[in-house]
Structure 1
Amino acid sequence: MDTLNTDTTQLAALIRLVEDPDPNVFGHVKSRLIEMGKDVVTSLENTIEIRQQQFAFDLDHEDRLRDIIKEIYFNQVKIELEQWRKSSTRDLLKGALIVSKFQYPDVDEKRVEQELESIKQKVWLEINEDNTAFEIVKIFNHVLFDICGFTSSKNNFYAAENSYINEVITSRKGNPLSLSILYSVIAQKLQIPIYGVNLPNHFVLGFVDEFQTLKMLGMSDDRNILFYINPFSKGRIFDHNEIENYLRSLNLPLQKNYFEPCSNTEILKRMLTNLTFAYNKEGQQEKVKSINELQLILDS
């Protein structure tokens, strides 16, 4: 017998057994379907659709199938996040897209990448090699906030969708972290040294002094940053004195890590922390528990 036909027959039998009232049978069937992974999702979704069209659906069966689909997708997110953690590059955009799959498993990664490429091209067309760092940031700000229309989501600041990069690109609204990710990913595509700075209760960007200009001028204090950028305020530029004043207002020490670029892993951890807060605020404890599982992967 053809292997493909055998697999299809076995899958159909398993899907029928999802209705079995015996919890032990259902438990084994559920585990097997989850183990089979995302390749069976289409068949599960088709079963739901066909039975609904035939008005022959049992709601408990539908709920069981949807729960299995959800677990399959969540397992895939965990697998991809673990692979990302173990990778040598830990690409920021890739990491952000993996987190987006938690809420949007069918996220169109290619569309996101194409949109970012389009924005990058707009910036590239405006920049020339004689531009200073300040001029480059002004061009970035003009393209992102004036031409492309990105803005801060102040009216719905804590909403979970503000943390998902695909939604931010669609809505053109984001929180400090997601707008900073967008900004820095595009900058790094253009080989411009703009990286995230993980401040308490806020997230900003730093323009790295890669040519050590400050050191040559005798102005360096080991903080290798020319200046800072706040994408949540349309790319406002500020210096380390403002960070010092901000930290003092919170009665926090002037730790070196508050002034320097953080790792992409720290950025994803912050994103998951934001999502935990958002889902707690919405009372979605099941999602909070799942986000905690993702945090453990990054902590390992």
Structure 2
Amino acid sequence: MSFNFEVPSALDHFQCLVGHDVAFPLLEAAASLAQEAVPELDVQDVLFQVDGLAERLRKTIPWGATAMQRHFMLNEFFYEKLGFAANANDFTDPSNSYMHHVLQTRRGIPISLAVLWMELAWGIGLKVDGISFPGHFLVKVRVDEGIIIQDPLTGRGLTQNMLSERLEPFREGWGLAEDDIAPLHMFLVPASGAEIIERMLRNLKSIYVQDGQQPLLLGVLNRLIILSPKHADNYRDRGLVLAQMGQRNDALRDLQTYVRMAQAPHDLSLIEARIELLRAAR
């Protein structure tokens, strides 16, 4: 008797990863995002490399070190010994979001560096969270002395005034008057693993839209729909990409799903017109 086993696709693997409500595998899910662009990528090798770094770090931590001491030693290890930093030459390079590439080059953007940094922090018993701050991902560290909000690009701690200044560019978009106070505490809430992955995907989406890379954009939208199946906009965006790629039936299904799910969308007439064009072309 012969058995035929179908190898799970990268998308199947992603769906299994993000289905975890408890102990969300953040690093593995983040590493898997590159599989659309690099199909041969070995995600387990990425985990193995980070485990190796974590073991090196643990060997430098003396017994009984306080959380503040461990935090200091982690920053020294990550930023000084390993040399992780911003990719100042090309912040919009999609490889800044590919964890295997960030590991190799030691260059990334705030969120990709934060994912690696947090993985190492958890490995030495630190209590840390990612913060989906507007415009720039941050990390929060809990120590005996209080809470540290840190810029993952540099390891620099940020004061309340610094954080408030970072909110200023967004004030007008929120409809705040000049004297209104932006509610800082609302932007320091810990992000879940799924929210971190979604932000990484939206970063990639923006880049792929700009570059016109439809197959890669489709892969991102597939993952966004797995993460947030109730967000109507993802179906609209995927439907439009599928239409551009000539996959009319799938495009029609997604656009119809958008019209059905969305609550009085501003672009309803445009999408309905696109649906009629797709129907006529069948």
Q: TM-score, normalised by structure 1?
A: 0.66
SS at match of 1:128: coil
In structure 1, list runs of 5 or more residues that go unmatched: 8-35, 39-74, 215-225
* Residue in 2 that maps onto 1:250: 170
CA distance in 1, matches of 2:183, 2:80: 34
Cα shift at 1:236: 0.8
Alignment pair present for 1:228 and 2:149: yes
Say if 1:245 and 1:134 are closer, same or farther in 2 by CA, change over 3 A.
farther
The answer to whether the Cα contact below 8 Å between 1:240 and 1:259 also exists between their aligned partners in 2 is no
* Residue in 1 that maps onto 2:116: 182
* Residue in 1 that maps onto 2:192: 263
CA distance in 2, matches of 1:275, 1:158: 9
SS at match of 1:297: helix
Say if 1:272 and 1:139 are closer, same or farther in 2 by CA, change over 3 A.
same
SS at match of 1:126: coil
Give per-residue Cα distances to partners, 1:186-219, cap 9 Å, x unaligned: 111222112211011110100035x6x55xxxxx
SS at match of 1:238: coil
CA distance in 1, matches of 2:222, 2:32: 14
The answer to whether the Cα contact below 8 Å between 1:247 and 1:254 also exists between their aligned partners in 2 is no
* Residue in 2 that maps onto 1:285: 214
The answer to whether the Cα contact below 8 Å between 2:110 and 2:137 also exists between their aligned partners in 1 is yes
In structure 2, list runs of 5 or more residues that go unmatched: 175-181, 230-282
Cα shift at 1:129: 4.8
Range moving further from structure 2, 259-268 or 245-254: 245-254
Higher helix proportion, which one? 1
* Residue in 1 that maps onto 2:49: 115
SS at match of 2:133: coil
Alignment pair present for 1:299 and 2:233: no
Alignment pair present for 1:237 and 2:170: no
Cα shift at 1:105: 2.3
% identity of equivalent residues: 22
CA distance in 2, matches of 1:132, 1:249: 37
Cα shift at 1:134: 3.8
Output the aligned Cα RMSD: 2.3
SS at match of 1:186: helix
**Residue identity matched to 1:232:** L
CA distance in 2, matches of 1:296, 1:273: 12
Alignment pair present for 1:76 and 2:9: yes
Cα shift at 1:245: 2.5
Matched positions, count: 219
CA distance in 1, matches of 2:202, 2:165: 25
SS at match of 1:201: coil
